A and B are shown apart, each in its own frame.
Chain A
C-alpha cells in the first residue's frame, strides 16, 4: 500500500542499556532559554520521571526526543540513533518505535475514537479491517474506554480523551513511550488508573517510559528514576529515595512546597 506501511521497527540496538542519551542540550526560543546544557540517560525497561515547575523546559525536552524540535547545540540519541541528524524518512522510522502521549491528548477532532486509535495501524500496518477493529477494541479496553468507539473526541471528558490518547500511542506496540503530563487535569481516581497503566506496561511488556509531570504523587508512584529540572538544567537525578534525601536547595524547596500543598488540600 504505502511506503510507510512496510517500515517495521528495527530492533533497538545500543551498546549499553540506554534507550535515550541526551547530552548537553541547548535550546532557545528568541530570548527565552528553554534548555541550558541538559543531559540525561534513560535505561531500557525503566520508568524515568522528569519533574520540575511549569516552564522549566520539560515539554521542550520531550519534543527533542521525537525530533519535533532540533537542539541549538548538543545531541539526542534514541535507540542509538541521533534524532537531531536523521533524514525525514529515518525520523519517521524511528518515530514508529516511540509512543507519545500529549498533554492535551491531541486527538484528531475530525475522527471518531476508533478512527483515532486505528490511525497509526492504518498508516503503518498492512492489516485487514477486522484485525484493526479487534486491536482497537483491545486497546480501548486496556485503557478502560471500551464501548466508546463511535464517539467523537468533543463528546469526551478530559480524562477520557487522555486515555484514548494513550491507547493511540500504544497502537504500534512501541518499546518506548513518552508521556507529557499524563495525569494533569485528571481527578485523583483517573490519575491513579493512568499511573497503574504506566506501571503495567513496564511490568507486562517491558516498555521504557519517560514521564514528564509536576504531580509529586504521580512521580513517586511510578518512578524507577527521578530527575528534577529547573530552568532548562538537570538539578538532581536518582532513585526516588535518593531524590527524597537530596540536600539540593531547589529540590528541597520543590518537594516541600508540594508536600504542603498536598496536605493543605
Chain B
C-alpha cells in the first residue's frame, strides 16, 4: 500500500513541487506587497513614529559606520591596486583615478554598503521582529490597537532609506581615500590621480549611487521586516527568518542593482 502511494506520488511530485513552489513564491510576493502598501499608506498619511524612527536611524546608521568605513576603504584600495597594475602595462596611468572613482561611486560604495547592511541590519530586523512574532508580542501590539506595520515596519523602512545613502557617502569618501593611497603608493602621482577623477567622475554618478542606496535600504528593511513578521515556530523559525532575510536581501540588491544601472546609465 505504501509502495503504491509512493509511486503515484512519484509521478506527480515534480509537477506538484514546481506548482507548490510557484504558488508559495507568488503568495509571499503578494503578502510582501500588501505589507509595503500598508506602510506606504501610513507614510502618505504622515503618521510616522518619530521616536521609533530615531532609534532605528541610530541602530542602522550610526552603529553601522565602523564596518562601512572598513569595507569602503578596502574596496577602494583593491580597485586602485588592480587598475593601477593593469593600466600601467598599457601606459594608462591617467585613467586610474577616474576608473577607481567611477567604480566606487556607481557600484562599489552603494552595493558593498548595502550588502554589509543586509548582513548586519537586515538580519537584526528579522531576528528582533521574528522573536516578537513567535512570543505573541506582535499579537499583543495588535490587541493594544497598534498596527505592527505602523509601529515596527515604517520606522525601519524610513530609517534604512535615510541611512543607506548617508553610509554610502562615507563609503565614497573612505573608498576614494583608500584608492588614492594605494594608487600613489603604486607610483601614480597624486595630481594625476585627482585630475583623472575630475575628468571622469561627474556629480550625476555620485547622485545615482546614492539613489541606488535608497532602494537598497528599502529592500533590506522590507525583507527583514517581512521575514520577521512571518516567522513561526520558536527559535528555529527565527533562525530561518534571519538567514532567509540576508540571502533574499543580497540577491535582490544585486538584481535590482543591474536593472537600476540599465535605467540610470
Contact = CB atoms under 8 A, between A and B. Distances in A.
Nearest to B144: A120
Nearest to A98: B143
A108 B151 CA distance: 12
A40 B104 CA distance: 66
Interface size class of B (residues with CB under 8 A): 10 to 19
B135 A106 contact: yes
A261 interface: no
Main secondary structure of the interface of B (DSSP, over half): helix
A145 to B, nearest CB: 18
B6 interface: no
Interface in A76-101: 88, 92-93, 95-96, 98, 100
Interface in B80-133: 128, 131-132
Contact of B140 (A88, A102, A124): A102
Interface string B142-162: 111111000000000000000
B139 A95 contact: no
A102 B136 contact: yes
B140 A106 contact: yes
A259 interface: no
B144 A95 contact: yes
Given A68-B139, A106-B140, A96 B47 contact: no
Interface in A97-131: 98, 100, 102-104, 106-110, 119-120, 123-124
A106 B145 contact: no
B47 A92 contact: no
B137 interface: yes
Contact of B136 (A93, A104, A168): A104
Given A2-B47, A3-B47, A108 B143 contact: no
A124 B145 contact: yes
A68 B137 contact: no
Contacts of B147: 88, 92
A20 B145 CA distance: 19
Interface string A247-261: 000000000000000
A198 B144 CA distance: 20
Contact of A63 (B135, B139, B141): B139
Contacts of A95: 142-145
B63 to A, nearest CB: 15
A223 B143 CA distance: 24
B145 to A, nearest CB: 4
A120 B151 CA distance: 13
Contacts of B141: 108
A63 B142 CA distance: 11
Interface string A173-195: 00000000000000000000000
Contact of A123 (B139, B143, B146): B146
B217 to A, nearest CB: 22
A68 B144 contact: no
B142 A68 contact: yes
A68 B47 CA distance: 23
Contacts of A207: none
A152 to B, nearest CB: 14
Contacts of B142: 66, 68, 95
Given A2-B47, A3-B47, A68 B135 contact: no
Contact of B143 (A2, A68, A107): A68
A168 B140 CA distance: 10
A126 B145 CA distance: 15
Contacts of A108: 132, 137, 140-141
Contacts of B140: 100, 102, 106-108
A92 B145 CA distance: 5
Interface in A142-164: none
B135 A104 contact: yes
A8 interface: no
Given A63-B139, A92-B145, 9 more contacts: A4-B145, A4-B146, A68-B139, A95-B143, A106-B135, A106-B139, A107-B137, A109-B135, A168-B144
20 contacts: A2-B47, A3-B47, A7-B145, A66-B142, A66-B143, A68-B142, A68-B143, A92-B145, A93-B145, A100-B140, A100-B143, A102-B136, A106-B139, A107-B137, A107-B140, A108-B132, A108-B137, A110-B128, A119-B144, A123-B144
